[in-house]
Structure formats: C-alpha cells, structure tokens
Amino acid sequence: MRVMGVDPGLTRCGVGVVEGAPGKPLRLVRVDVVRTSPDDDIALRLLGIETGIAALLDELRPDAVAVERVFSQHNVRTVMGTAQAAGVAMLLAARRGLPVAMHTPSEAKAAVTGNGRADKAQVTMMVTRLLRLDAAPRPADAADALALAICHVWRGGARTRLDQARLAARAGRGKGGVGQ
Amino acid sequence: MRVMGVDPGLTRCGVGVVEGAPGKPLRLVRVDVVRTSPDDDIALRLLGIETGIAALLDELRPDAVAVERVFSQHNVRTVMGTAQAAGVAMLLAARRGLPVAMHTPSEAKAAVTGNGRADKAQVTMMVTRLLRLDAAPRPADAADALALAICHVWRGGARTRLDQARLAARAGRGKGGVGQ
C-alpha cells in the first residue's frame, strides 16, 4: 500500500509518500515540500499548492491520501489557509478516485513514537528509524507528512476499507455520486 | 463587467452572476445553488462543488469572481467546510486567470441595502429591485451570492484593477508566479 501524507499549509505544505503494510517494513518513496509565497494572493497560492500536489500524485500514484486534520485553535487567518490547502489536497485525491483519510497530529505522533505529544525531534528520529534511512529526511519539516503517511499505513488501511465498503453499500442504495 | 458571486458552503453553495458597471443598470445572468450531500465524505463534497462551479464558470465566463469572506465565529466544523468550499471557488478562478476578490457579508449587504446588518428579506428585495426582476430570484438562498456580485461590480472593479497593477508591478520585479 502506497500512501501520500499531506501536512497542509499555504507557505509550506509537506508531502511524504511511504510504502508498506501493517507488520511489514516501510519504504520511503518521496518527501517534498510545496511552497507558495506569502506575498501572493490566496487564490494564486491555492493554485500553487494544487499544481505541486497534482504533479506528485500523478508521478507517484499513491493508493490513498492521508491529510492532517486541521483545528481552529490558533490564529484564525492561518487556520483558514491551512484548511483550504487541506481542501485542495482532498479535492485532488477525490478527482483521482483515491480514498482520503484524516488523522490528527496526535494520532500521527502516537503512531510513530507511542506518544501523542512527542516533540518534533522525537518524531523525526522515529520516522528516520522506521523508514530505515541513514539520515533524517530533508526537508526537515516534511517529517510530519511522513509520520502521517506511516500512521495511515498502520491504522488507516482498515478505515479505508471500511469507507470503501460503506461507499459501495451506499451506491447500492442509489445514494452514490457527488449529490449535486 | 460580468461578475460571479459565490456564497460558499458545502451543503449549499450559492452562485450569482451579474453584469453591469458603476452607474449603469445591472443585469442578472444566472443564479444557481450547487448542492452536495452531508452524507458524503468531505473530499467527494469538494469535488461536487468543484464540478458545479467549474461548469458555471465555463458556460458563463465571468470577468471576475467575488467570494464571501469566511469568518470563524460559528461552529468550527461548519467553518472549515465553508472555508474549503471558498478555497475551491478561488482555485477555479485562479486556474482560469480570473481576478478574485473577497467581500464580507456586511460589505455585500451594505452595498445593496445601505445597511451592513440588513436582514435576508431586505437583501432579497433590493437584489430583486436592482436587477429589475419581476419576482425574487430563485433559489431564494442564492440572493446573498447576487448581492456579493453586485457589491463587486460597484466597488470591486477598482480593487481588481489595483490588484492587477500590483501583480504586474510584482511580475516586473521578478516575483510573479505561484512561488513553488
């Protein structure tokens, strides 16, 4: 199972692609950050995020996309942009028929370190170890996206299968489609 | 000048297209609501919003898109979905090279009624009058999208020209593009 994890943001949107299955070794496929300039209009920035993630999806063809769940605890403007970047990632996945899952930052941290409140250094160390890399993945701030992808490989597969069963059941009841 | 106003939402996304210029009569081009089902995954719903708005953009070819600015004063989950629907509208406009403006609900209400706190009935009455319609536009809940488009025709044109001048100036300094 190949999973793309997306740590959404307008200025820096982390993307980590990992291959694996529960109980089997993990493999790093790609780690990258899509950047847009704070000087640009929000619309142009969302277009930049779309272009960057679309290119990675088309090249790397993951089986599923895991997006970090956005909370509104911080600065409102930042949260809106983050939510919109997350929306673009979900939209791109849906357009390709890929299942989308959301995991919280705590779920991702707990998956790779056993502690939902682990700090960045600890997450990076465990991601490096779990992917059997010689050095911490670069860019450094994409470690969260990799943790998210690993989290999904380990616990999201089941959820994805459940979602698919639910979608199939719903389609069977004539309730499928985008419902416009 | 033909403007598409978008009143973003996941369950109901109002779209109103208006033609006009400051000091000249306004003309209704189209009013519609793009709907998605609350039973669907957020990713599928964003895809439904994209499909619906893209079809209207391609058919009606507005010169600019005005999106209602989203605030986070209400329910957090609703606001995230609304922000993401707004993001999809902005993304679609940017992809077509259209200028995007954001106006607050108060700005739109003040533009058509003179009162930023006008109620729905008053906004609908003024939109009906300003567009010289025989009856209130249907679906009724798209009146806000029309008010937003009218607001942009009347006050947004200048802002759009400013934005374009700024973008042109920035491009001249080598800072254009999506900044990935």
SS3 A103: strand
**Is the Cβ of B56 closer than 8 Å to some Cβ of chain A?**
no
Question: According to the model, what pLDDT value does residue B179 have?
Answer: 32
**Chain B residue with the nearest C-alpha to that of A65:** B43
- B141 pLDDT more than 60: yes
In a domain, B84, yes or no: yes
Task: Report how far residue A112's alpha carbon sits from residue A18's, in angstroms, rounded to the nearest whole number.
Answer: 13
Domain count within chain A: 1
Average pLDDT over residues B150-174: 64
B35 part of a folded domain: yes
Residue B131 has pLDDT above 60, yes or no: yes
For residue B174, pLDDT beyond 60:
no
Q: What are phi and psi of A173, to 5 degrees?
A: -90, 5
- pLDDT for the residue numbered B175: 36
pLDDT of residue A166: 59
**pLDDT, mean of residues B108-126:** 94
**Interface contact A95, partner B, CB < 8 A:** yes
For the annotated catalytic residues of B, the residue numbers are: 7, 68, 141
Report the pLDDT averaged over residues B35-45: 96
Query: Please, which pLDDT band fits residue B71 given cuts at 50, 70 and 90?
Result: confident
Q: Name residues of chain A where pLDDT drops below 50.
A: 173-180
Q: Is residue A178 part of a domain?
A: no
Cis peptide before B99, with omega less than 30 degrees from 0?
no
Model confidence pLDDT, tens digit, residues B84-107: 999 999 999 999 999 999 999 999
Residue B178 within any structural domain of the chain: no
B-chain residues near A169 (CB < 8 A): none
Q: How many CB atoms lie within 10 A of CB B178?
A: 19
Whole-angstrom distance between the N-terminal and C-terminal Cα of chain B? 32
Domain membership flag for residue A177 = no
Q: Is B179 exposed, middle or buried (0-12, 13-18, 19+ CB in 10 A)?
A: middle
Let me know: does A48 contact A40? Beta carbons within 8 Å. Answer: yes
User: Looking at CA atoms only, how far is residue A16 from chain B in angstroms?
Assistant: 17
What is the rounded CA–CA span in Å between residue B40 and residue A167?
9
Percentage with pLDDT > 70 across chain B: 83
Residue B144 has pLDDT above 60, yes or no: yes
Q: What percent of chain B has pLDDT over 90?
A: 75
List all residues 6 or more positions away from B47 whose beta carbon is below 8 Å from its beta carbon: A91, A94, A95, A178
Close Cβ partners of B147 (under 8 Å, ≥ 6 residues apart): B5, B16, B108, B109, B111, B112, B123, B126, B127
pLDDT of amino acid A70: 83
CA distance, residue A126 to nearest chain B CA (Å): 28
**A44 belongs to a structural domain:** yes
Position B180 in a domain = no
Residue B140 belongs to domain spanning: 2-172
Q: What is the pLDDT of residue A180?
A: 31
Which CATH number goes with the domain that contains A147? 3.30.420.10
- Asked whether the bond before A62 is cis by omega within 30 degrees of 0, the reply is no
Two tokens, residue B118: 């006008």
* Assigned domain for B179 exists: no
Q: Is the Cβ–Cβ distance between B155 and B5 less than 8 Å?
A: no
